[in-house]
Structure 1
Amino acid sequence: MESTPAGRRGILAWASIVVATAAIAIVVWVVTTLGATLVHLHPAYPVVLGAVLLIAPLALWRNIVRRARRRGWRAVARAVTLVLAAAGVAAIAWLKPFAAAQPALTAMRSDAYVRVIETATQITMAPRGETAPAAQREVGVFFQPGALVDARAYAAVLRPLARAGHPIVIAKQPLNIAFLATGAFDAARDAHPAVTSWVLGGHSLGGTVAALQADSGQTTSRAPAVGLLLYASYPAGDLSSSLRIPVESISGSRDGLATPAKISASRSDLPADTRFTVIRGASHAQFGSYGPQPGDREPTIPDQDARTQIAAASLSFLAVISAEGGSGR
Protein backbone atom coordinates (compact mmCIF):
# COMPACT_ATOMS: atom_id res chain seq x y z
CA MET A 1 0.00 0.00 0.00
CA GLU A 2 1.34 3.39 -0.94
CA SER A 3 1.80 6.16 1.55
CA THR A 4 -0.79 8.92 1.41
CA PRO A 5 0.49 12.43 0.68
CA ALA A 6 -0.06 14.73 3.64
CA GLY A 7 -2.39 17.00 1.65
CA ARG A 8 -4.74 14.13 0.74
CA ARG A 9 -5.40 13.01 4.29
CA GLY A 10 -8.78 13.93 5.67
CA ILE A 11 -9.51 15.58 9.00
CA LEU A 12 -10.51 12.26 10.57
CA ALA A 13 -7.20 10.71 9.56
CA TRP A 14 -5.24 13.54 11.12
CA ALA A 15 -7.39 13.40 14.25
CA SER A 16 -6.83 9.65 14.48
CA ILE A 17 -3.08 10.16 14.23
CA VAL A 18 -3.22 12.74 17.03
CA VAL A 19 -5.31 10.50 19.30
CA ALA A 20 -3.11 7.44 18.68
CA THR A 21 0.04 9.45 19.34
CA ALA A 22 -1.49 10.90 22.51
CA ALA A 23 -2.44 7.40 23.68
CA ILE A 24 1.12 6.15 23.27
CA ALA A 25 2.52 9.22 25.01
CA ILE A 26 0.13 8.92 27.96
CA VAL A 27 0.87 5.22 28.46
CA VAL A 28 4.61 5.93 28.39
CA TRP A 29 4.09 8.78 30.89
CA VAL A 30 2.03 6.58 33.23
CA VAL A 31 4.50 3.69 33.09
CA THR A 32 7.48 5.99 33.57
CA THR A 33 6.03 7.89 36.51
CA LEU A 34 4.49 4.91 38.31
CA GLY A 35 7.36 2.50 37.75
CA ALA A 36 7.26 -0.46 40.14
CA THR A 37 3.91 0.68 41.55
CA LEU A 38 2.23 -0.88 38.50
CA VAL A 39 2.99 -4.42 39.65
CA HIS A 40 1.30 -3.73 42.99
CA LEU A 41 -2.00 -2.55 41.51
CA HIS A 42 -5.02 -4.66 40.67
CA PRO A 43 -4.20 -6.22 37.26
CA ALA A 44 -7.02 -4.35 35.50
CA TYR A 45 -5.14 -1.07 35.04
CA PRO A 46 -1.86 -2.59 33.76
CA VAL A 47 -3.89 -4.76 31.37
CA VAL A 48 -5.64 -1.67 30.00
CA LEU A 49 -2.30 0.07 29.55
CA GLY A 50 -0.90 -2.96 27.74
CA ALA A 51 -3.90 -3.15 25.43
CA VAL A 52 -3.56 0.52 24.52
CA LEU A 53 0.13 0.09 23.84
CA LEU A 54 -0.71 -2.69 21.40
CA ILE A 55 -3.65 -1.02 19.66
CA ALA A 56 -2.45 2.60 19.42
CA PRO A 57 0.68 1.93 17.28
CA LEU A 58 -1.41 -0.18 14.90
CA ALA A 59 -3.98 2.61 14.57
CA LEU A 60 -1.20 5.12 14.03
CA TRP A 61 0.39 3.02 11.28
CA ARG A 62 -2.92 2.43 9.49
CA ASN A 63 -3.74 6.12 9.41
CA ILE A 64 -0.29 7.03 8.12
CA VAL A 65 -0.41 4.60 5.18
CA ARG A 66 -4.14 4.84 4.44
CA ARG A 67 -4.92 6.19 0.94
CA ALA A 68 -8.67 6.63 0.61
CA ARG A 69 -10.89 8.90 2.61
CA ARG A 70 -14.03 7.36 4.07
CA ARG A 71 -17.38 8.93 3.35
CA GLY A 72 -20.99 8.44 4.35
CA TRP A 73 -21.88 6.14 7.21
CA ARG A 74 -18.32 4.83 7.41
CA ALA A 75 -17.05 8.33 8.10
CA VAL A 76 -19.71 8.79 10.79
CA ALA A 77 -18.82 5.46 12.39
CA ARG A 78 -15.16 6.37 12.32
CA ALA A 79 -15.87 9.78 13.88
CA VAL A 80 -17.86 8.18 16.71
CA THR A 81 -15.07 5.64 17.28
CA LEU A 82 -12.55 8.45 17.33
CA VAL A 83 -14.52 10.38 19.96
CA LEU A 84 -14.79 7.26 22.13
CA ALA A 85 -11.07 6.61 21.69
CA ALA A 86 -10.23 10.17 22.72
CA ALA A 87 -12.43 9.80 25.81
CA GLY A 88 -10.70 6.52 26.61
CA VAL A 89 -7.28 8.12 26.34
CA ALA A 90 -8.38 10.89 28.72
CA ALA A 91 -9.74 8.28 31.12
CA ILE A 92 -6.42 6.43 31.16
CA ALA A 93 -4.67 9.62 32.22
CA TRP A 94 -7.32 10.39 34.82
CA LEU A 95 -7.16 6.85 36.23
CA LYS A 96 -3.45 7.16 37.03
CA PRO A 97 -3.40 6.34 40.74
CA PHE A 98 -1.70 8.05 43.65
CA ALA A 99 1.25 5.79 44.47
CA ALA A 100 1.91 4.65 48.03
CA ALA A 101 4.73 6.47 49.80
CA GLN A 102 6.60 6.12 53.06
CA PRO A 103 5.93 5.07 55.74
CA ALA A 104 3.32 2.84 54.09
CA LEU A 105 5.97 1.02 52.04
CA THR A 106 7.89 0.10 55.18
CA ALA A 107 4.64 -0.98 56.86
CA MET A 108 4.18 -3.52 54.06
CA ARG A 109 7.04 -5.62 55.45
CA SER A 110 6.36 -8.59 57.70
CA ASP A 111 7.92 -8.77 61.16
CA ALA A 112 7.54 -10.76 64.38
CA TYR A 113 4.15 -9.16 65.10
CA VAL A 114 2.41 -8.82 61.74
CA ARG A 115 2.58 -10.97 58.63
CA VAL A 116 1.88 -9.09 55.40
CA ILE A 117 0.67 -11.01 52.36
CA GLU A 118 0.07 -9.25 49.07
CA THR A 119 -1.78 -10.79 46.14
CA ALA A 120 -3.12 -9.39 42.89
CA THR A 121 -6.46 -8.48 44.48
CA GLN A 122 -5.84 -7.82 48.18
CA ILE A 123 -3.38 -7.11 50.98
CA THR A 124 -3.66 -9.09 54.21
CA MET A 125 -2.07 -7.97 57.47
CA ALA A 126 -2.37 -10.87 59.89
CA PRO A 127 -1.41 -10.81 63.59
CA ARG A 128 1.35 -13.25 64.44
CA GLY A 129 1.27 -15.45 67.51
CA GLU A 130 -0.98 -14.96 70.51
CA THR A 131 -0.72 -11.18 70.40
CA ALA A 132 -4.32 -10.60 71.47
CA PRO A 133 -7.33 -12.38 72.97
CA ALA A 134 -9.36 -14.60 70.70
CA ALA A 135 -12.18 -12.04 70.66
CA GLN A 136 -9.92 -9.59 68.84
CA ARG A 137 -8.46 -12.13 66.43
CA GLU A 138 -11.99 -13.12 65.42
CA VAL A 139 -12.95 -9.54 64.52
CA GLY A 140 -11.36 -8.57 61.21
CA VAL A 141 -11.33 -5.32 59.28
CA PHE A 142 -12.09 -5.22 55.57
CA PHE A 143 -10.95 -1.90 54.10
CA GLN A 144 -11.80 -0.16 50.82
CA PRO A 145 -9.18 2.41 49.64
CA GLY A 146 -10.14 5.84 48.39
CA ALA A 147 -10.62 6.46 44.67
CA LEU A 148 -7.43 6.24 42.61
CA VAL A 149 -5.26 5.40 45.61
CA ASP A 150 -2.73 2.56 45.70
CA ALA A 151 -4.03 0.07 48.30
CA ARG A 152 -0.61 -0.09 49.96
CA ALA A 153 -0.99 3.57 50.98
CA TYR A 154 -3.11 2.50 53.97
CA ALA A 155 -0.64 0.00 55.40
CA ALA A 156 0.88 2.42 57.93
CA VAL A 157 -2.40 3.63 59.43
CA LEU A 158 -3.94 0.13 59.56
CA ARG A 159 -0.91 -1.83 60.75
CA PRO A 160 -1.46 -0.87 64.44
CA LEU A 161 -4.87 -2.53 64.20
CA ALA A 162 -3.25 -5.75 62.98
CA ARG A 163 -0.58 -5.58 65.68
CA ALA A 164 -3.39 -5.27 68.25
CA GLY A 165 -4.75 -8.58 67.02
CA HIS A 166 -7.25 -7.78 64.28
CA PRO A 167 -6.79 -9.40 60.84
CA ILE A 168 -6.80 -6.67 58.18
CA VAL A 169 -7.75 -7.10 54.53
CA ILE A 170 -7.25 -4.16 52.15
CA ALA A 171 -8.98 -4.53 48.80
CA LYS A 172 -7.15 -3.87 45.56
CA GLN A 173 -9.85 -2.40 43.34
CA PRO A 174 -10.10 -2.75 39.55
CA LEU A 175 -8.94 0.58 38.11
CA ASN A 176 -8.69 1.75 41.76
CA ILE A 177 -12.42 2.49 41.94
CA ALA A 178 -14.29 1.08 44.95
CA PHE A 179 -17.58 0.59 43.08
CA LEU A 180 -15.75 -1.96 40.90
CA ALA A 181 -14.79 -4.02 43.96
CA THR A 182 -18.18 -4.63 45.55
CA GLY A 183 -17.60 -8.39 45.53
CA ALA A 184 -14.26 -8.16 47.31
CA PHE A 185 -15.79 -8.45 50.78
CA ASP A 186 -17.31 -11.86 50.01
CA ALA A 187 -13.95 -13.00 48.67
CA ALA A 188 -12.24 -11.87 51.88
CA ARG A 189 -14.72 -13.79 54.03
CA ASP A 190 -14.11 -16.94 52.01
CA ALA A 191 -10.36 -16.54 52.32
CA HIS A 192 -10.41 -16.00 56.11
CA PRO A 193 -12.79 -18.52 57.69
CA ALA A 194 -11.29 -17.99 61.16
CA VAL A 195 -12.67 -14.44 61.22
CA THR A 196 -16.20 -14.70 62.58
CA SER A 197 -17.12 -10.99 62.40
CA TRP A 198 -16.06 -8.10 60.21
CA VAL A 199 -15.83 -4.37 60.61
CA LEU A 200 -16.06 -2.77 57.18
CA GLY A 201 -14.08 0.39 56.63
CA GLY A 202 -13.00 2.71 53.90
CA HIS A 203 -11.50 6.05 53.01
CA SER A 204 -13.41 8.64 50.98
CA LEU A 205 -15.24 6.86 48.11
CA GLY A 206 -14.08 3.58 49.64
CA GLY A 207 -16.00 4.45 52.80
CA THR A 208 -19.13 5.15 50.76
CA VAL A 209 -18.92 1.67 49.24
CA ALA A 210 -18.04 0.13 52.62
CA ALA A 211 -21.24 1.63 54.03
CA LEU A 212 -23.29 -0.10 51.34
CA GLN A 213 -21.47 -3.39 51.95
CA ALA A 214 -21.96 -3.11 55.72
CA ASP A 215 -25.66 -2.42 55.28
CA SER A 216 -26.15 -5.50 53.10
CA GLY A 217 -23.73 -7.69 55.07
CA GLN A 218 -25.07 -7.17 58.59
CA THR A 219 -27.84 -9.75 58.28
CA THR A 220 -25.78 -12.63 56.89
CA SER A 221 -25.30 -15.60 59.19
CA ARG A 222 -21.73 -16.25 58.03
CA ALA A 223 -19.14 -13.77 59.33
CA PRO A 224 -21.50 -10.80 59.36
CA ALA A 225 -20.60 -7.12 59.25
CA VAL A 226 -20.65 -5.93 62.86
CA GLY A 227 -19.34 -2.39 62.46
CA LEU A 228 -18.63 0.42 59.99
CA LEU A 229 -15.45 2.50 60.14
CA LEU A 230 -15.45 5.62 57.98
CA TYR A 231 -12.25 7.51 57.20
CA ALA A 232 -13.05 11.00 55.85
CA SER A 233 -16.20 9.58 54.30
CA TYR A 234 -19.97 9.37 54.50
CA PRO A 235 -22.74 7.20 52.99
CA ALA A 236 -24.31 7.90 49.62
CA GLY A 237 -27.84 7.80 51.06
CA ASP A 238 -29.88 7.51 54.23
CA LEU A 239 -28.81 4.47 56.28
CA SER A 240 -30.01 5.82 59.62
CA SER A 241 -32.75 3.22 60.04
CA SER A 242 -31.45 0.25 58.06
CA LEU A 243 -27.93 0.19 59.52
CA ARG A 244 -28.16 -1.55 62.90
CA ILE A 245 -24.48 -1.89 63.72
CA PRO A 246 -22.03 0.51 65.44
CA VAL A 247 -20.51 3.22 63.26
CA GLU A 248 -17.37 5.29 63.79
CA SER A 249 -16.77 8.34 61.60
CA ILE A 250 -13.21 9.71 61.75
CA SER A 251 -12.58 12.93 59.85
CA GLY A 252 -10.11 15.79 59.61
CA SER A 253 -10.82 19.43 60.36
CA ARG A 254 -8.65 20.48 57.39
CA ASP A 255 -10.22 18.11 54.87
CA GLY A 256 -10.89 19.88 51.58
CA LEU A 257 -12.82 16.98 50.01
CA ALA A 258 -14.88 15.30 52.75
CA THR A 259 -15.22 18.71 54.37
CA PRO A 260 -16.36 19.23 57.98
CA ALA A 261 -19.66 20.55 56.60
CA LYS A 262 -20.22 17.34 54.59
CA ILE A 263 -19.34 15.17 57.58
CA SER A 264 -21.76 17.15 59.74
CA ALA A 265 -24.50 16.74 57.12
CA SER A 266 -23.94 12.96 57.13
CA ARG A 267 -25.17 12.70 60.72
CA SER A 268 -28.76 12.43 59.53
CA ASP A 269 -27.82 9.54 57.19
CA LEU A 270 -26.18 7.47 59.94
CA PRO A 271 -27.56 5.84 63.11
CA ALA A 272 -28.19 8.25 65.98
CA ASP A 273 -25.50 6.65 68.16
CA THR A 274 -22.73 6.98 65.52
CA ARG A 275 -19.45 8.08 67.06
CA PHE A 276 -17.86 11.10 65.39
CA THR A 277 -14.15 11.75 65.94
CA VAL A 278 -12.52 14.83 64.41
CA ILE A 279 -8.74 14.90 64.05
CA ARG A 280 -7.87 18.56 64.51
CA GLY A 281 -5.57 19.84 61.77
CA ALA A 282 -5.75 16.66 59.63
CA SER A 283 -6.36 16.74 55.87
CA HIS A 284 -8.01 14.26 53.52
CA ALA A 285 -4.75 12.74 52.25
CA GLN A 286 -3.41 12.14 55.76
CA PHE A 287 -5.69 9.14 56.12
CA GLY A 288 -3.25 7.37 53.80
CA SER A 289 0.35 7.78 52.69
CA TYR A 290 0.25 8.87 49.06
CA GLY A 291 1.24 12.52 49.02
CA PRO A 292 -0.90 15.63 48.49
CA GLN A 293 -4.24 15.40 46.69
CA PRO A 294 -5.84 18.04 44.42
CA GLY A 295 -8.68 19.87 46.13
CA ASP A 296 -7.42 19.05 49.62
CA ARG A 297 -6.34 21.65 52.19
CA GLU A 298 -2.97 21.99 53.86
CA PRO A 299 -2.82 20.08 57.17
CA THR A 300 -1.63 21.81 60.31
CA ILE A 301 -0.37 18.67 62.07
CA PRO A 302 2.40 16.27 61.00
CA ASP A 303 1.46 13.11 59.11
CA GLN A 304 2.68 10.91 61.96
CA ASP A 305 0.46 12.69 64.50
CA ALA A 306 -2.55 12.31 62.22
CA ARG A 307 -1.89 8.59 61.69
CA THR A 308 -1.43 8.01 65.41
CA GLN A 309 -4.74 9.67 66.26
CA ILE A 310 -6.62 7.92 63.44
CA ALA A 311 -5.27 4.52 64.51
CA ALA A 312 -6.07 5.24 68.18
CA ALA A 313 -9.68 6.16 67.39
CA SER A 314 -10.00 3.04 65.23
CA LEU A 315 -8.62 0.80 67.98
CA SER A 316 -10.99 2.32 70.52
CA PHE A 317 -13.91 1.51 68.24
CA LEU A 318 -12.70 -2.05 67.63
CA ALA A 319 -12.18 -2.59 71.36
CA VAL A 320 -15.85 -1.88 72.01
CA ILE A 321 -16.94 -4.34 69.33
CA SER A 322 -14.52 -7.04 70.51
CA ALA A 323 -15.64 -6.60 74.13
CA GLU A 324 -19.21 -7.29 73.04
CA GLY A 325 -18.17 -10.52 71.35
CA GLY A 326 -18.25 -9.11 67.84
CA SER A 327 -21.64 -7.43 68.06
CA GLY A 328 -20.65 -4.00 69.38
CA ARG A 329 -24.13 -3.57 70.92
Structure 2
Amino acid sequence: MQKKRGRRVLRWILGSIAVVLVLGIGGILVWSQVGVMAAEPEPLATVRENPDITVTDAPEGIVLAPADGDSEIGVVFIPGAKVDPWAYAAILQGLAEDGMTVVITRPWLNLAFFDLRGLDSFTSAAPDIDTWAVGGHSLGGVRACQLAADADALLLFGSYCATDVSDTDLAVLSIAGSEDGLSTPEKIADARHLLPADAELVEIPGASHASFGDYGPQAGDGTPTISDEEMHQTVTALVDAFAQESLAGR
Protein backbone atom coordinates (compact mmCIF):
# COMPACT_ATOMS: atom_id res chain seq x y z
CA MET A 1 0.00 0.00 0.00
CA GLN A 2 2.78 2.41 0.92
CA LYS A 3 4.61 1.60 -2.32
CA LYS A 4 1.49 2.40 -4.38
CA ARG A 5 0.99 5.64 -2.46
CA GLY A 6 4.64 6.53 -3.04
CA ARG A 7 4.32 5.88 -6.76
CA ARG A 8 1.19 8.08 -6.93
CA VAL A 9 3.00 10.88 -5.14
CA LEU A 10 6.00 10.55 -7.48
CA ARG A 11 3.73 10.61 -10.54
CA TRP A 12 1.97 13.68 -9.17
CA ILE A 13 5.28 15.46 -8.57
CA LEU A 14 6.63 14.57 -12.02
CA GLY A 15 3.35 15.59 -13.63
CA SER A 16 3.37 18.91 -11.82
CA ILE A 17 6.94 19.59 -12.91
CA ALA A 18 6.02 18.75 -16.52
CA VAL A 19 3.05 21.15 -16.39
CA VAL A 20 5.21 23.94 -14.97
CA LEU A 21 7.84 23.38 -17.68
CA VAL A 22 5.24 23.38 -20.46
CA LEU A 23 3.62 26.54 -19.11
CA GLY A 24 7.02 28.20 -18.69
CA ILE A 25 8.17 27.36 -22.20
CA GLY A 26 4.81 28.39 -23.62
CA GLY A 27 4.98 31.67 -21.72
CA ILE A 28 8.44 32.43 -23.09
CA LEU A 29 7.32 31.62 -26.63
CA VAL A 30 4.29 33.91 -26.35
CA TRP A 31 6.23 36.71 -24.64
CA SER A 32 8.98 36.62 -27.30
CA GLN A 33 6.42 37.26 -30.03
CA VAL A 34 4.42 39.98 -28.28
CA GLY A 35 5.57 43.58 -28.48
CA VAL A 36 8.22 43.10 -31.16
CA MET A 37 9.20 46.59 -32.34
CA ALA A 38 8.60 46.81 -36.08
CA ALA A 39 10.80 48.52 -38.63
CA GLU A 40 9.55 51.95 -39.63
CA PRO A 41 8.40 51.84 -43.28
CA GLU A 42 9.97 55.05 -44.61
CA PRO A 43 13.62 54.34 -43.63
CA LEU A 44 13.21 50.77 -44.85
CA ALA A 45 11.91 52.01 -48.20
CA THR A 46 15.16 53.94 -48.73
CA VAL A 47 17.05 50.66 -48.36
CA ARG A 48 14.90 48.75 -50.81
CA GLU A 49 15.15 51.58 -53.35
CA ASN A 50 18.92 52.12 -52.97
CA PRO A 51 20.58 51.39 -56.34
CA ASP A 52 24.06 51.24 -54.79
CA ILE A 53 23.43 48.12 -52.73
CA THR A 54 21.81 44.71 -53.04
CA VAL A 55 19.40 43.46 -50.39
CA THR A 56 18.99 39.71 -49.99
CA ASP A 57 16.65 37.98 -47.58
CA ALA A 58 18.95 34.98 -47.11
CA PRO A 59 18.74 31.99 -44.74
CA GLU A 60 21.65 33.43 -42.72
CA GLY A 61 19.95 36.81 -42.33
CA ILE A 62 19.33 40.05 -44.16
CA VAL A 63 22.35 40.66 -46.39
CA LEU A 64 23.27 44.18 -47.52
CA ALA A 65 26.12 44.24 -50.04
CA PRO A 66 27.69 46.67 -52.52
CA ALA A 67 25.91 46.56 -55.85
CA ASP A 68 29.20 46.00 -57.67
CA GLY A 69 29.96 42.95 -55.52
CA ASP A 70 33.35 44.34 -54.50
CA SER A 71 33.61 43.67 -50.76
CA GLU A 72 36.52 42.59 -48.57
CA ILE A 73 35.10 43.27 -45.10
CA GLY A 74 31.99 41.74 -43.58
CA VAL A 75 29.91 42.69 -40.56
CA VAL A 76 27.59 40.32 -38.70
CA PHE A 77 25.11 42.50 -36.82
CA ILE A 78 22.84 41.18 -34.06
CA PRO A 79 19.58 43.08 -33.32
CA GLY A 80 18.46 44.22 -29.90
CA ALA A 81 15.84 42.30 -27.93
CA LYS A 82 12.46 42.08 -29.63
CA VAL A 83 13.43 44.45 -32.42
CA ASP A 84 12.62 43.58 -36.04
CA PRO A 85 15.98 42.93 -37.81
CA TRP A 86 14.81 45.07 -40.74
CA ALA A 87 14.84 48.06 -38.37
CA TYR A 88 18.65 48.13 -38.67
CA ALA A 89 18.82 48.07 -42.45
CA ALA A 90 18.66 51.85 -42.89
CA ILE A 91 21.39 52.70 -40.39
CA LEU A 92 23.66 49.99 -41.82
CA GLN A 93 23.09 50.57 -45.53
CA GLY A 94 25.81 53.23 -45.61
CA LEU A 95 28.38 50.55 -44.77
CA ALA A 96 27.26 48.52 -47.78
CA GLU A 97 27.42 51.62 -49.97
CA ASP A 98 31.04 52.03 -48.85
CA GLY A 99 32.06 48.47 -49.66
CA MET A 100 31.20 46.28 -46.68
CA THR A 101 28.87 43.29 -46.66
CA VAL A 102 26.47 43.36 -43.72
CA VAL A 103 24.57 40.33 -42.42
CA ILE A 104 21.77 41.26 -40.01
CA THR A 105 20.85 38.16 -38.04
CA ARG A 106 17.39 36.97 -37.02
CA PRO A 107 17.82 35.89 -33.39
CA TRP A 108 15.82 32.90 -32.25
CA LEU A 109 12.68 33.98 -30.38
CA ASN A 110 13.67 37.59 -31.14
CA LEU A 111 16.20 37.43 -28.28
CA ALA A 112 19.93 37.14 -28.90
CA PHE A 113 20.52 35.13 -25.70
CA PHE A 114 18.41 32.28 -27.05
CA ASP A 115 20.35 32.13 -30.31
CA LEU A 116 23.16 29.62 -29.82
CA ARG A 117 24.46 29.64 -33.39
CA GLY A 118 28.15 30.34 -33.97
CA LEU A 119 29.52 33.17 -36.07
CA ASP A 120 30.07 30.90 -39.07
CA SER A 121 26.31 30.38 -39.29
CA PHE A 122 26.14 33.98 -40.51
CA THR A 123 29.46 34.55 -42.27
CA SER A 124 28.53 31.69 -44.60
CA ALA A 125 26.29 34.21 -46.36
CA ALA A 126 29.47 35.69 -47.88
CA PRO A 127 32.07 32.87 -47.98
CA ASP A 128 34.56 34.85 -50.06
CA ILE A 129 35.09 37.40 -47.28
CA ASP A 130 37.89 36.60 -44.83
CA THR A 131 37.77 39.67 -42.55
CA TRP A 132 34.76 39.92 -40.26
CA ALA A 133 33.52 42.19 -37.52
CA VAL A 134 30.70 41.12 -35.24
CA GLY A 135 28.49 43.69 -33.63
CA GLY A 136 25.12 44.41 -32.23
CA HIS A 137 22.75 46.80 -30.57
CA SER A 138 21.76 46.56 -26.91
CA LEU A 139 21.31 42.86 -26.02
CA GLY A 140 22.61 42.03 -29.49
CA GLY A 141 25.90 43.66 -28.56
CA VAL A 142 26.14 41.54 -25.41
CA ARG A 143 25.76 38.45 -27.59
CA ALA A 144 28.29 39.84 -30.08
CA CYS A 145 30.86 39.96 -27.29
CA GLN A 146 30.33 36.22 -26.78
CA LEU A 147 31.02 35.56 -30.47
CA ALA A 148 33.92 37.99 -30.79
CA ALA A 149 36.62 35.34 -30.32
CA ASP A 150 35.89 34.18 -33.87
CA ALA A 151 35.95 37.68 -35.37
CA ASP A 152 38.56 40.30 -36.19
CA ALA A 153 36.67 43.19 -34.61
CA LEU A 154 33.78 44.04 -32.31
CA LEU A 155 31.19 46.79 -32.86
CA LEU A 156 28.93 47.87 -30.01
CA PHE A 157 25.93 50.14 -30.63
CA GLY A 158 24.39 51.34 -27.38
CA SER A 159 25.71 48.23 -25.65
CA TYR A 160 28.49 46.76 -23.54
CA CYS A 161 30.09 43.41 -22.82
CA ALA A 162 29.21 41.03 -20.02
CA THR A 163 32.04 38.80 -21.31
CA ASP A 164 35.64 39.78 -20.58
CA VAL A 165 37.50 40.35 -23.86
CA SER A 166 40.12 42.65 -22.36
CA ASP A 167 42.99 40.22 -22.94
CA THR A 168 42.27 39.75 -26.65
CA ASP A 169 43.74 41.55 -29.64
CA LEU A 170 40.27 42.48 -30.90
CA ALA A 171 39.78 45.84 -32.52
CA VAL A 172 36.79 47.36 -30.72
CA LEU A 173 34.53 50.32 -31.49
CA SER A 174 31.87 51.13 -28.90
CA ILE A 175 29.35 53.83 -29.83
CA ALA A 176 27.13 55.30 -27.12
CA GLY A 177 24.36 57.89 -27.16
CA SER A 178 24.33 60.80 -24.75
CA GLU A 179 20.54 60.50 -24.32
CA ASP A 180 20.43 56.70 -24.05
CA GLY A 181 18.15 55.85 -21.14
CA LEU A 182 18.81 52.09 -21.26
CA SER A 183 22.48 51.44 -22.09
CA THR A 184 23.41 54.72 -20.47
CA PRO A 185 26.88 56.25 -20.93
CA GLU A 186 27.46 55.48 -17.24
CA LYS A 187 26.70 51.77 -17.69
CA ILE A 188 28.97 51.63 -20.72
CA ALA A 189 31.76 53.33 -18.78
CA ASP A 190 31.33 50.90 -15.88
CA ALA A 191 31.90 47.96 -18.26
CA ARG A 192 34.92 49.57 -19.93
CA HIS A 193 37.35 47.28 -18.09
CA LEU A 194 35.98 44.28 -19.99
CA LEU A 195 37.28 45.70 -23.29
CA PRO A 196 40.88 45.86 -24.57
CA ALA A 197 42.87 48.89 -23.44
CA ASP A 198 42.95 50.32 -26.97
CA ALA A 199 39.20 50.00 -27.54
CA GLU A 200 37.70 53.12 -29.10
CA LEU A 201 34.72 54.58 -27.24
CA VAL A 202 32.66 57.33 -28.87
CA GLU A 203 29.58 59.12 -27.55
CA ILE A 204 27.21 60.67 -30.08
CA PRO A 205 25.60 63.84 -28.70
CA GLY A 206 21.82 63.73 -28.83
CA ALA A 207 21.52 60.01 -29.62
CA SER A 208 19.12 57.82 -27.65
CA HIS A 209 18.96 54.04 -27.39
CA ALA A 210 16.43 53.81 -30.21
CA SER A 211 18.54 56.11 -32.40
CA PHE A 212 20.62 53.04 -33.32
CA GLY A 213 17.67 51.55 -35.20
CA ASP A 214 14.54 52.70 -36.96
CA TYR A 215 11.72 51.22 -34.89
CA GLY A 216 10.25 54.21 -33.08
CA PRO A 217 10.39 55.27 -29.42
CA GLN A 218 11.28 52.73 -26.74
CA ALA A 219 10.04 52.57 -23.16
CA GLY A 220 12.57 53.84 -20.64
CA ASP A 221 14.68 55.57 -23.26
CA GLY A 222 15.75 59.21 -23.38
CA THR A 223 14.56 61.74 -25.93
CA PRO A 224 16.85 62.05 -28.97
CA THR A 225 17.86 65.47 -30.25
CA ILE A 226 19.74 64.18 -33.29
CA SER A 227 17.88 63.57 -36.57
CA ASP A 228 17.73 60.08 -38.04
CA GLU A 229 19.62 61.25 -41.12
CA GLU A 230 22.45 62.74 -39.07
CA MET A 231 22.57 59.65 -36.88
CA HIS A 232 22.87 57.36 -39.89
CA GLN A 233 25.63 59.49 -41.39
CA THR A 234 27.53 59.72 -38.10
CA VAL A 235 27.45 55.96 -37.48
CA THR A 236 28.53 55.23 -41.05
CA ALA A 237 31.46 57.65 -40.79
CA LEU A 238 32.59 56.23 -37.44
CA VAL A 239 32.47 52.60 -38.58
CA ASP A 240 34.11 53.42 -41.94
CA ALA A 241 37.02 55.17 -40.21
CA PHE A 242 37.35 52.32 -37.72
CA ALA A 243 37.35 49.72 -40.50
CA GLN A 244 39.97 51.58 -42.51
CA GLU A 245 42.25 51.91 -39.50
CA SER A 246 41.74 48.52 -37.90
CA LEU A 247 40.58 46.06 -40.56
CA ALA A 248 41.82 47.14 -43.97
CA GLY A 249 44.53 44.82 -45.26
CA ARG A 250 43.93 42.04 -42.72
Q: How many percent of aligned residue pairs carry the same amino acid?
A: 40
2:163 is the alignment partner of 1:226: no
Counterpart Cα distance in 2 of 1:201 and 1:107 = 23
In the TM superposition, residue 159 of structure 1 has moved relative to its aligned partner by 0.2
**2:3 aligned residue:** none
* Distance 1:75-1:123 versus aligned 2 partners, 3 A rule: same
What SS does the aligned partner of 1:191 have? coil
Give the helix-richer structure, 1 or 2: 1
Q: Which letter does structure 1 place at the counterpart of 2:93?
A: R
Q: Does 1:318 align with 2:243?
A: yes
- Give the direction of change, closer, same or farther, for the CA distance of 1:184–1:291 in structure 2 (3 Å limit): farther
How far residue 304 of structure 1 moved from its aligned partner, in angstroms, is 2.6
Q: Tell me the number of residue pairs that the alignment of Structure 1 and Structure 2 aligns.
A: 241
CA distance in 2, matches of 1:262, 1:190: 34
Aligned to 1:197: 131
Corresponding position of 2:192? 267
Tell me the distance in 1 between the aligned counterparts of 2:175 and 2:116: 22
Secondary structure of 2:152 counterpart: strand
TM-score (norm 2): 0.86
Residue aligning to 1:157: 91
Residue of structure 1 in register with 2:178 after alignment: 253
Q: Deviations over 1:164-200 (max 9, x none)?
A: 0101111111111213334252023333222110011
One of 224, 227, 234 as aligned partner of 1:299:
224
Q: Does residue 236 in structure 1 map to residue 162 in structure 2?
A: yes
What is the correspondence of 1:1-329 to structure 2 with a 5 Å cutoff? Answer: 80-95=17-32, 96=34, 97-109=36-48, 111-129=50-68, 137-214=71-148, 216-217=149-150, 225-241=151-167, 243-323=168-248, 325-326=249-250
- Higher relative CO (CA 8 A, sep ≥ 6), structure 1 or 2? 2
The residue type equivalent to 1:261 in the other structure is: E
**Alpha-carbon deviations, 1:202-246, whole Å to 9, x = none?**
1111111111211x21xxxxxxx22111101111132211x2021
CA offset at residue 88 of structure 1? 4.2
Unaligned runs of 5+ in 1: 1-70, 218-224
Go from structure 1 to structure 2 and tell me whether the alpha carbon gap of 1:184 and 1:240 turns closer, same or farther (over 3 Å shift): closer
Counterpart contact for 1:247–1:271, Cα < 8 Å: yes
What TM-score do the two structures reach when normalised by structure 1?
0.67
Computing the radius of gyration from Cα coordinates, the structure with the larger value is 1
Q: Which amino acid aligns with 1:259?
A: T
**1:46 matched to which residue of 2?**
none
Check whether the contact 1:107–1:159 (CA below 8 A) recurs between aligned residues: no
Q: Residues 108 and 152 of structure 1 are in contact (CA less than 8 Å); yes or no, is this contact kept in structure 2?
A: no
Alpha-carbon distance change, 125 to 165 in structure 1, aligned in 2, over 3 angstroms: same
